[in-house]
Amino acid sequence: MFAKLIETAVEKALDRRTIRPDKKLTIEGYHPLPEIMGALYEWLFVPFRGAEILVEIRYPRSTQIPEVDKLYSLQNKNKSKFSRQDIIDIANIQEKCCEAVLNRPTFAELEKAIYGKDRVIESKKKQLAEIEEKIKKVSGIEKTELQNRYDALELFIGFILPDDTMFALTNIAFGLNVSDIRKITKEKLIAAYSKARIYNGRPSDYIPGIFTDGDRENIDNYATIFGSEEEMRINKNNKKR
């Protein structure tokens, strides 16, 4: 009997695991990224202006990365409707993710190295100062044109890391390369919401896969949004009959 209990316990433990396409055995469910990766630090090549640089990254926990919800909501917007503030907000969140992920060199060390060698940024800073003085002396269309140039230059200077580097490090911070979050569809979220209503659980309890601990709240939130909308649509259609 004791042997049977052990066998059952082992089978349950194995059932909670899944073999991924990359042949890694990974625990299923919601876990901090370091647990999923089986390591806290790793040396990786990341893109840098079309080339690659070798950095040591640290896999952060969800509590160590910023405003996941805000980034998801901004990224889901139509890019043609992005305001300048949206672009700044996205870049700020990405920058914080880079700070959380970079271990060697640190974000500050990399930033210092780039600023120290980048003559283009030095030149842009001078242009920015010149335009700022001109704006004070003009008005109308000329002022608007100068302000647009100033805004573009400010964005260029304000975020030091290249776009491809920021994007790659942000994906690492959110575990997008290992999490199954991208496989989730609106239909799966609605189905999970319905099951949660029936069985008194959380929608995230009814979506199988490998997810970071930070994914859980987002799955619950979006399942509730889409599920509620679907319920309202169904109720509305039923009333018309």
Q: Give pLDDT tens digits along the chain (241 positions).
A: 555 555 555 454 444 444 444 445 556 788 888 888 877 888 999 998 888 989 999 998 888 877 666 666 666 666 666 777 777 788 888 888 999 999 999 988 887 777 666 666 677 778 878 888 888 888 888 888 888 887 777 777 767 788 889 889 988 988 887 888 888 999 999 999 999 999 989 999 999 988 888 888 889 999 999 999 988 888 887 777 6
Any alpha helices (H) in the chain, and if so which ranges?
2-15, 33-37, 68-75, 84-101, 107-117, 119-135, 140-158, 163-174, 186-199, 213-240
With contact defined as beta carbons under 8 Å apart, do 179 and 27 qualify?
no
d(CA 128, CA 207): 50
Q: Is 105 exposed, middle or buried (0-12, 13-18, 19+ CB in 10 A)?
A: middle
Angle at 174 between CA 168 and CA 175, to 5 degrees: 85
All structural domains of the chain with their residue ranges: 1-31+179-241, 37-174
